[in-house]
């Protein structure tokens, strides 16, 4: 169905793999367009509640935007590519499903930017992160200047972007770029386990919490708190709230099904 992606569904978790192994899963426009379509379909789905994003092969998550496509691109084409990535990556942040990046190797440039668009990043021990764009005479264009700054702070973001230094998984963990580091052989199983943990919670509640976090970070504290209060109220009108609290009081495991 897709030329540049592989899709696998395990229960209520979808695994989307970038599949351009000859270029270490570099993101060309066709891949970005497929990713956008795939995520647009998935965000409407009631059957998929967690999405794992990874790269095919043992060497790379995504080694960046496709340099062979960009080398002769005009200014307008460069901007269009960035806007296409913006549309696809924004979906990861806005879709009701929780998203996990399973970073299985190089996550450079657009690859680091794709990982940063996911809700959570789990890195294999061999993962390498970096924003090498300034070394190519361009700047990060798939969200790096914005998302890296929000994740690790202005000083560290500027250092990584200006020096183009590559950092390993442990350093990425130390600076807060990734949530967890696990042995490479265990990466997917760990992410699936994390997904299962989320699936046992209220998916609708998680979707509301995600929306509050994503919208709240771009607003002032008071507006964010008001939005949280509204969504907190909304969650009181769900079956999950009744079941979750009743189960607690009856000392049994809750079965939460809203989404």
DSSP string, 26-86: -B-HHHHHHHHHHHHHHHT-SS--EEEEEESSSSEEE--B-HHHHTT--HHHHHHHHHHHH
Could you say whether residue 66 binds ligand CAA (CB under 6 A)? yes
User: Total number of residues binding ligand CAA (CB under 6 A)?
Assistant: 21
**Residues 73-112: x where in contact with ligand CAA by CB under 6 A, - otherwise, as a string:** ---------------------------------x-xxx--
Q: How far is the CB of 64 from ligand CAA (least distance, A)?
A: 3
Q: Which of 122, 144, 125 is nearest to 133 (CA)?
A: 144
**What is the spatial distance between Cα 103 and Cα 249, in angstroms, rounded to a whole number?**
40
Could you say whether residue 65 binds ligand CAA (CB under 6 A)? yes
Catalytic residues: 113, 133
Strand partners, 181: 123
The length of the chain, given as a count of residues: 259
Radius of gyration of the chain (CA): 19
**What is the spatial distance between Cα 52 and Cα 90, in angstroms, rounded to a whole number?**
15
CB of 28 within 8 A of CB of 20? yes
Taking CA atoms, 110 is separated from 27, 77, 81, in Å, by 7, 16, 11
Q: How far is the CB of 243 from ligand CAA (least distance, A)?
A: 44
Q: How far is the CB of 145 from ligand CAA (least distance, A)?
A: 9
CB-nearer residue toward ligand CAA: 66 or 240: 66
Record the tokens describing residue 84, joined without a space: 């296409």
CB atoms under 10 Å from CB of 3, counted, come to 9
CB-nearer residue toward ligand CAA: 54 or 97: 54
Q: How far is the CB of 1 from ligand CAA (least distance, A)?
A: 24
CB-nearer residue toward ligand CAA: 10 or 79: 79
CB of 97 within 8 A of CB of 42? yes
CB-nearer residue toward ligand CAA: 110 or 244: 110
Residues 123-152 that bind ligand CAA (CB under 6 A): 132-133, 136, 140-142, 144
CB atoms under 10 Å from CB of 36, counted, come to 18
Q: How far is the CB of 195 from ligand CAA (least distance, A)?
A: 27
Query: Which span sits near ligand CAA by CB under 6 A: 34-42, 66-74, 199-207, 251-259?
Result: 66-74
CB-nearer residue toward ligand CAA: 67 or 254: 67
**Choice from 4, 5, 64, 88 touching ligand CAA (CB under 6 A):** 64
Q: How far is the CB of 61 from ligand CAA (least distance, A)?
A: 10
Chain residues binding ligand CAA by CB under 6 A are 23-24, 26, 63-68, 106, 108-110, 113, 132-133, 136, 140-142, 144
């Amino acid at each position: 169905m897709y030329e540049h992606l592989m899709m696998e569904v395990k229960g209520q978790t979808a695994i989307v793999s970038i599949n351009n192994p000859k270029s270490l899963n570099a993101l060309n426009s066709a891949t970005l367009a497929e990713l956008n379509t795939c995520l647009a379909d998935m965000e409407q789905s009631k059957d998929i509640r967690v999405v794992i994003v990874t790269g095919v092969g043992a060497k790379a998550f995504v080694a960046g935007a496709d340099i062979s496509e960009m080398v002769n691109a005009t200014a307008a084409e460069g901007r269009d590519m960035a806007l296409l990535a913006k549309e696809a990556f924004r979906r990861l942040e806005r879709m009701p499903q929780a998203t996990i990046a399973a970073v299985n190797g190089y996550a450079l440039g657009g690859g680091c930017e794709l990982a940063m668009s996911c809700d959570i990043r789990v890195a294999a021990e061999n993962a390498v992160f970096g924003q090498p764009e300034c070394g190519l005479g361009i700047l990060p264009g798939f969200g790096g200047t914005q998302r890296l700054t929000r994740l690790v702070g202005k000083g560290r973001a500027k250092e990584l972007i200006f020096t183009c230094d590559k950092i390993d998984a442990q350093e990425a963990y130390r600076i807060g770029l990734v949530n967890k580091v696990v042995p490479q052989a265990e990466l997917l199983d760990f992410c699936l386990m994390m997904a299962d943990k989320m699936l046992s919670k209220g998916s609708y509640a998680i979707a509301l919490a995600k929306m509050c976090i994503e919208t709240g970070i771009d607003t002032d504290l008071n507006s964010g708190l008001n939005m949280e209060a509204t969504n907190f109220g909304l969650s009181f009108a769900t079956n999950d709230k009744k079941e979750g609290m009743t189960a607690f009081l009856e000392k049994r495991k809750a079965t939460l099904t809203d989404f």
